[in-house]
Amino acid sequence: MLDCGLKFHEGGFDYPAKVFESRALDGVFLSHAHLDHAGGLPFFVHYHMRCPIYCTQETDEITRILLRDSQRVAHLKRLHEAFTKSDMQDALGMLTHVRYNEETRLRSISYAFLNAGHIPGSAAVRIRAEGLSLVYSGDYNTETTRMMMAADPTTWGKTDILITESTYAEREHPDREKTEKEFLEHIERVTRAGGRVLIPVFAVGRAQEVLLMLSRKQWSVPVYIDGLARKVTAAIIDGPCPYATSKQQLRASLRVAKPIGSLNQRVEAAEQSGIFVTTSGMLQGGPAMYYLQEMWSDPKSAVLLTGFQVHNTPGWHLSEEHIIKLDGQRHEVQCQVKRYDFSAHLSRTGLQQTILALKPRILIFMHGDPSSTKALADWAHQAVGATVYSPAVGEQIDIDPNGVSSSLQLYKAQDGYEFPPEHNHAIRFAYDDAQRTDENGS
């Protein structure tokens, strides 16, 4: 099994949409620790999964932190918990370290974990079996950032089958150096005017990159780190991941920020001018909401968002509408709000360059909106002549060493469960002969 994610919503979780009997699995290859890739592991353990979960050292460390936190938050908010504490502990006991770039055998296949450049510990997985080579990209980035060394798909080897993310298949990212300069200048303007700066961050990758940026300057106010970002940063500092910076620089960036370890420290810090780097990145909880409550009505202060904001999250409402809900009341914020694009995913050009470099015979797009995957699928079929699939949730593609089955079918659970109608949307895929067929509900 390649990854095993979980998707939460306010009442609990949406995915996995179907959990199959998993006692026959020989192994799981875990690309990285984000919950949409690792969060469902205890769910499958509950359904008798007993096998190694292969991952890098940093992915192991971060997965432990994020799974425990998600289980704790679900319990505190009295949401429907996706898994029990016992399931989680069993899953964590199955985590098994692999090293980057080492070709290893598992029964009849060989596999290797390759730098993906997304977050600490992230990897693309190459599998060789039955005369074919398959690369599963996970989430990846082909641009070097302050934190991460870029992925280099040209080193991933011959690829018959490529399963790739397509998150930003329809857009390019702004120039990163220019964005970083504008970001730091904005912070300087606010702090010089006596305001406070709240920087909501994702705990993994983004928090550490923001600290590296902040460490480049001397600030007239204290820099604080709070929430899960503090714990993750401490956990990954000594790992073997191919970082774009030295361990000494990483440690120096940590020393720039004062850790907030208690509510009393948080209250005291929030009353002063400062720069607050804290979770959560979409303002769905965590200490960020406390700091926001203290500064939303202050025109001198600023909230600087550093990542994608999912539609209808508090971060999206703040970014798009300048509205925030506190204690059940909607407020039009008076502080400054701006979002800066520091994406850890590759852009459209990066995706196209990867596909051109690997020239797969079979190309499967996932982890993207339907419009994104359709646009990229149409381009890829013309550019490299691959058989292209953009499967919806629950579809099955059978691949034979001598060719590929072009029939797609929905999984049918033994208990008669069927996917809801909204998932049975139009599916578009291309055959080798460039004939195209649209099918509804099949």
**Cα–Cα distance list, 436 to 254, 288, 355, 381 (Å):** 53, 48, 20, 11
pLDDT value for 419: 33
- CATH number, position 379: 3.60.15.10
Paired with 388 in beta bridges are: 363, 430
Q: Does the N-terminal peptide bond of residue 16 adopt cis geometry, omega within 30 degrees of 0?
A: yes
User: CA-to-CA distance for 298 and 305, rounded, in angstroms?
Assistant: 17
Break the chain down into helix, strand, coil percent, rounded to 5. 30, 25, 45
pLDDT value for 418: 37
pLDDT value for 96: 97
Token representation of residue 350: 């990066």
Sign of the Cα pseudo-torsion (75, 78, 82, 83, in order): positive
One domain for residues 291 and 398: no
Q: Kindly state whether residue 413 falls inside one of the protein's structural domains.
A: yes
Q: Kindly state whether residue 200 falls inside one of the protein's structural domains.
A: yes
How many domains are there within the chain?
Answer: 2
One domain for residues 384 and 299: no
- As a dihedral over the C-alpha atoms of residue 291, residue 294, residue 296, residue 299, rounded to 10 degrees, the angle is -110
Q: Which of 426, 429, 422 is nearest to 439 (CA)?
A: 426
Q: Kindly state whether residue 278 falls inside one of the protein's structural domains.
A: yes
Q: Which of 256, 242, 232 is nearest to 63 (CA)?
A: 232
Q: Kindly state whether residue 1 falls inside one of the protein's structural domains.
A: no
User: Dihedrals φ, ψ of 121, to 5°?
Assistant: 90, -10
- CATH number, position 251: 3.40.50.10890
Strand, coil or helix: 325: strand
One domain for residues 299 and 201: yes
One domain for residues 262 and 398: no
Q: Kindly state whether residue 202 falls inside one of the protein's structural domains.
A: yes
One domain for residues 298 and 433: no
Q: Kindly state whether residue 366 falls inside one of the protein's structural domains.
A: yes
pLDDT per residue of the chain (442 residues) written in tens, 0 to 9: 999 988 766 555 666 766 666 888 999 999 999 989 999 898 888 888 999 999 999 999 999 999 998 877 766 666 556 667 888 999 999 999 999 999 999 999 999 999 999 999 999 999 999 889 999 999 999 999 988 999 999 999 989 999 999 988 888 999 999 999 999 999 999 999 999 999 999 999 899 999 999 998 999 999 999 988 888 888 887 777 778 777 777 777 777 889 998 999 999 999 999 999 999 999 988 899 999 999 999 999 999 999 888 888 899 999 999 999 988 889 999 999 999 999 999 999 999 999 999 999 999 999 888 887 888 888 998 889 888 988 877 788 887 766 555 444 443 333 333 333 333 222 222 222 222 233 322 2
Q: Kindly state whether residue 166 falls inside one of the protein's structural domains.
A: yes
Taking the alpha carbons at both ends of the chain, their separation in whole angstroms is: 24
Last residue of some domain: 339, 354, 387?
A: 339
One domain for residues 330 and 418: no
DSSP strand pairing (161-165 vs 362-366): parallel
User: CA-to-CA distance for 377 and 370, rounded, in angstroms?
Assistant: 10
Last residue of some domain: 324, 339, 354?
A: 339
One domain for residues 19 and 165: yes
pLDDT value for 78: 62
Q: Which of 8, 17, 31 is nearest to 345 (CA)?
A: 31
Token representation of residue 401: 């060493």
Q: Which of 56, 44, 10, 1 is nearest to 204 (CA)?
A: 56
One domain for residues 90 and 20: yes
Which residues form the domain of 325?
A: 176-339
**Cα–Cα distance list, 116 to 119, 164, 225, 386 (Å):** 8, 11, 26, 23
Distance of alpha carbon 276 from its chain centroid, rounded? 22
Last residue of some domain: 286, 315, 339?
A: 339
One domain for residues 335 and 189: yes
Is residue 308 a contact partner of residue 315, using CB atoms and an 8 Å limit?
Answer: no
Is residue 274 a contact partner of residue 267, using CB atoms and an 8 Å limit?
Answer: no
One domain for residues 64 and 213: no
One domain for residues 188 and 157: no
CA angle 89, 91, 96 (to 5 degrees): 120
For 10-67, list the strands marked E by DSSP. Answer: 12-15, 28-29, 53-55
- As a dihedral over the C-alpha atoms of residue 150, residue 156, residue 161, residue 163, rounded to 10 degrees, the angle is -20
Sign of the Cα pseudo-torsion (287, 205, 62, 168, in order): positive
Token representation of residue 373: 């995957």
Contacts for 354-358: CB closer than 8 Å, 24+ residues apart? 354/137, 354/142, 354/153, 354/162, 354/164, 355/162, 355/164, 355/380, 355/383, 355/384, 355/386, 356/383, 356/384, 357/153, 357/154, 358/135, 358/153, 358/156, 358/159, 358/162
Q: Kindly state whether residue 2 falls inside one of the protein's structural domains.
A: no
One domain for residues 391 and 333: no
pLDDT value for 406: 46
